[in-house]
Chains A and B, each alone.
Chain A
């Protein structure tokens, strides 16, 4: 570069830098250069798609919020970490994000085990974490309502949906009297089955629960579990292995002719995008004979609103995929955080929690309402049968059964649910 142009060029560049970067932080009414949001989820291992979807949902939300001027003029900055579905890593990540990177909020977390490990640490770190997948009821019932940890807020629907909704749907099916369980061999599986039995018994004392088989994480061969419960001649199966394991389980059930011998197969979280993609060919050929039922924390074809359709369109344009529920819940968590901070005009935990009191917010998944007693957002999610729809390249849930959230959420005083087999 010619020397006589060098100094003016540098000055122009510097002034451009000041012009571009200066106003953003100067306009931030929270006195910080940016609102930092730490995000984490399982981004490695067999459940990695859920963490990736959390990251995609978070990225898109931050981009949209920033494009619209940020939160009180503050840009949102995110940082994603893989928690490996391991509690120790989740806790370490939370510490890194808050004490090293300086996160003002944290979001995400797939595993209930990771969530329960993080809970007490969040109180120490004094940062709100918006949980967007972990489903154990104990997170909100024990740690928030019981122990008063205000830093825990859950945006996604807890385990109530997998268990109580199933009982509400099938209580009127008088042809189904014998239920068997192929369960995830950890708390999620135990609680879902116990809660389902407890709820169904209230409506149908005549129902029998005839068999149980438990599959630990990373089970590849479900044939012994299937054989064990089918030997009890059940009318219906209640299944809780999820993600790739659910796909594997359903395929092996087809091979073993289960769908010729049962009336219903309830697949908890079978409406997740990764599961629907995995069983797409089988659904297209109607190999489940209309007997497969599924749900998810959010289903991309419901609610049929302009908000949801626009969200799907933007998401597909950005990522060339459909959002699964961990993407929608994470995306929504950012807008909940935005609304709460704008109302509180602060990022302090007490003020943000107070600002969420009575909050009703419209998200792609529908209207969410904040329940202060356990800091749980409440919203409707239906269940249905996986079917092909010409408008979508992957299956959707059809024949939807919609219950009001108030009918399938638990309410205080929370009675203990057995967390054992």
Chain B
């Protein structure tokens, strides 16, 4: 049986379901439109904050492919984030070409994720988590110690916001923050759209099958380890993209971005938003920055406030904030069609 055979086409959507889908599509379109208008209506700081949120959203969406869709909790994603950031920074310092820098960072992170993934996906559960934590901290140590290449604890400084350039074709200056915002926005939207397509593709469905029952997937002929490696590499590419967008924004890269505390950010954002919802990590990223920013404005003990809010949110919405909206928006079940837990009710919601 092929993988595609294992997932027969879903039944056509009911009118109520189509209504929910079209409402969601309209909402997404409005949000995207608002994001494009942001530099025109908001000050510099909200634009800067929006870029931080978008970067974390890309990072978290990639992380959730591994966590929510494949069932692997990685504590080392900051390592790939840092590889992307340092890769991009080194290229931009040598060749001031933004596209080249970002592409280089993404490729470097993808290669690192692939190589470390070969070793990591041999294990699952806590063993996988510990391995990724160790590899992530190994990258942190390299960033810290390889001073000649990474600048050690001082990092790389003075990274230019180089022009978007295709030699002989176009050259657009993005030195102004507002212009760079559109680079971050477009790349983030493309990355998120690609991930949406991916998780609804046979590959995405297969990853969910691996997550739900490794044994069943193996009996269905799925090479589980290869699929996990693919998910790990893609998550690494996304972490690399997020990392590569950072140096032109901050003009600097330092080792703390590879630390495990940085790996916790997509974990936290995803848990806050909801791991079983595609939009969960994106909404979680927004909440993460907004709560932190608001708390920092009112008290220097913002970490306590932030922690209390996160704990309260996790207790109130154990499946993430998006579960609340999904619950409210989910159409009433048609009598006789409700699936029980034993009949596969645990299937992933995307």
Q: Considering only CB atoms, which chain A residue lies closest to B45 in the complex?
A: A100
Q: Considering only CB atoms, which chain A residue lies closest to B302 in the complex?
A: A82
Q: Mark B293-304, 1 if CB is under 8 A from A, else 0.
A: 100100010110
Q: Are B44 and A95 in contact (CB under 8 A)?
A: yes
Q: With A82-B300, A95-B44, A420-B148 known to touch, is A88 a contact of B257 (CB < 8 Å)?
A: yes
Q: Are A117 and B144 in contact (CB under 8 A)?
A: no
Q: Are A88 and B154 in contact (CB under 8 A)?
A: no
Q: Considering only CB atoms, which chain B residue lies closest to A118 in the complex?
A: B252
Q: Are A136 and B154 in contact (CB under 8 A)?
A: yes
Shortest distance between the CB of B152 and any CB in chain A (Å):
6
Q: Is A91 an interface residue (CB 8 A)?
A: yes
Q: Are A112 and B154 in contact (CB under 8 A)?
A: yes
Shortest distance between the CB of B137 and any CB in chain A (Å):
12
Shortest distance between the CB of A298 and any CB in chain B (Å):
23
Contacts of A92 in B (CB 8 A): 48, 52
Q: Residue among B44, B153, B158, B254 with the most chain A CB within 10 A?
A: B153
Q: Are B45 and A96 in contact (CB under 8 A)?
A: yes
Q: With A88-B256, A95-B45 known to touch, is A116 a contact of B157 (CB < 8 Å)?
A: yes
Q: With A88-B250, A216-B144, A420-B148 known to touch, is A113 a contact of B154 (CB < 8 Å)?
A: yes
Q: Mark B311-342, 1 if CB is under 8 A from A, else 0.
A: 00000000000000000000000000000000
Shortest distance between the CB of A326 and any CB in chain B (Å):
15
Q: Is A121 an interface residue (CB 8 A)?
A: yes
Q: Are A113 and B300 in contact (CB under 8 A)?
A: no
Q: Are A44 and B303 in contact (CB under 8 A)?
A: yes
Contacts of A116 in B (CB 8 A): 154-155, 157, 252
Q: Are A80 and B252 in contact (CB under 8 A)?
A: no
Instruction: Count A-B contacts at CB 8 Å.
Output: 83
Q: Mark A80-102, 1 if CB is under 8 A from B, else 0.
A: 11100011100110011001100
Q: Are B45 and A99 in contact (CB under 8 A)?
A: yes
Contacts of A419 in B (CB 8 A): 147, 152, 154
Choice from B158, B293, B296, B302 contacting A120 with Cβ under 8 Å: B158
Contacts of B124 in A (CB 8 A): none
Contacts of B52 in A (CB 8 A): 92
Q: How far is the CA of A124 from the CA of B256 in the complex (A)?
A: 23
Q: How far is the CA of A86 from the CA of B148 in the complex (A)?
A: 21
Q: Is A43 an interface residue (CB 8 A)?
A: yes
Within 8 A of B (CB), among A47-81: 55, 80-81
Q: Are A187 and B154 in contact (CB under 8 A)?
A: yes
Q: Is A158 an interface residue (CB 8 A)?
A: no
Choice from A43, A95, A138, A186 contacting B153 with Cβ under 8 Å: A186
Q: Mark A13-37, 1 if CB is under 8 A from B, else 0.
A: 0000000000000000000000000
Q: Is A119 an interface residue (CB 8 A)?
A: yes
Choice from B43, B177, B252, B300 contacting A87 with Cβ under 8 Å: B252
**Number of residues in B with C-beta < 8 Å to the partner?**
27
Contacts of A217 in B (CB 8 A): 153
Contacts of A80 in B (CB 8 A): 300
Q: Are B250 and A81 in contact (CB under 8 A)?
A: no
Q: Residue among A88, A96, A124, A136 with the most chain B CB within 10 A?
A: A88
Shortest distance between the CB of A315 and any CB in chain B (Å):
19
Q: Is B251 an interface residue (CB 8 A)?
A: yes
Q: Are A99 and B252 in contact (CB under 8 A)?
A: no
A contact patch SS = helix
Q: Are A120 and B251 in contact (CB under 8 A)?
A: yes
Q: Are A187 and B252 in contact (CB under 8 A)?
A: no
Q: Are B144 and A87 in contact (CB under 8 A)?
A: no
Q: Are B254 and A117 in contact (CB under 8 A)?
A: yes
Contacts of B256 in A (CB 8 A): 86-88
Q: Considering only CB atoms, which chain A residue lies closest to B47 in the complex?
A: A99
Shortest distance between the CB of A143 and any CB in chain B (Å):
8
Q: Considering only CB atoms, which chain A residue lies closest to B256 in the complex?
A: A86
Q: How far is the CA of A185 from the CA of B255 in the complex (A)?
A: 13
Shortest distance between the CB of A137 and any CB in chain B (Å):
12
Choice from B46, B154, B250, B300 contacting A186 with Cβ under 8 Å: B154
Shortest distance between the CB of B219 and any CB in chain A (Å):
47
Q: Residue among B152, B154, B157 with the most chain A CB within 10 A?
A: B154
Q: Are A43 and B44 in contact (CB under 8 A)?
A: no
Q: Considering only CB atoms, which chain B residue lies closest to A147 in the complex?
A: B158
Contacts of A216 in B (CB 8 A): 144
Q: Mark A98-142, 1 if CB is under 8 A from B, else 0.
A: 011000000000001100110111001000000000001010000
Choice from B44, B46, B155 contacting A113 with Cβ under 8 Å: B155
Q: How far is the CA of A217 from the CA of B141 in the complex (A)?
A: 12
Q: Mark B261-290, 1 if CB is under 8 A from A, else 0.
A: 000000000000000000000000000000
Q: How far is the CA of A419 from the CA of B177 in the complex (A)?
A: 32
Shortest distance between the CB of A308 and any CB in chain B (Å):
28
Q: Considering only CB atoms, which chain A residue lies closest to B250 in the complex?
A: A91
Contacts of B300 in A (CB 8 A): 43, 55, 80-82
Residues of B within 8 A of A (CB): 43-46, 48, 52, 144, 147-148, 152-155, 157-158, 177, 250-252, 254, 256-257, 293, 296, 300, 302-303
Given contacts A81-B300, A87-B250, 7 further A-B contacts (CB under 8 A): A91-B251, A92-B48, A116-B154, A116-B252, A121-B250, A185-B153, A419-B147
27 A-B contacts (beta carbon < 8 Å) = A43-B300, A80-B300, A82-B300, A82-B302, A87-B254, A87-B256, A91-B250, A91-B252, A92-B48, A95-B44, A95-B48, A96-B296, A99-B43, A99-B44, A99-B45, A100-B46, A112-B154, A113-B154, A116-B155, A120-B252, A121-B251, A124-B251, A147-B158, A187-B154, A419-B147, A419-B154, A420-B147
State the 3 A-B residue pairs at the shortest beta-carbon distance, nearest first: A100-B45, A186-B153, A99-B44
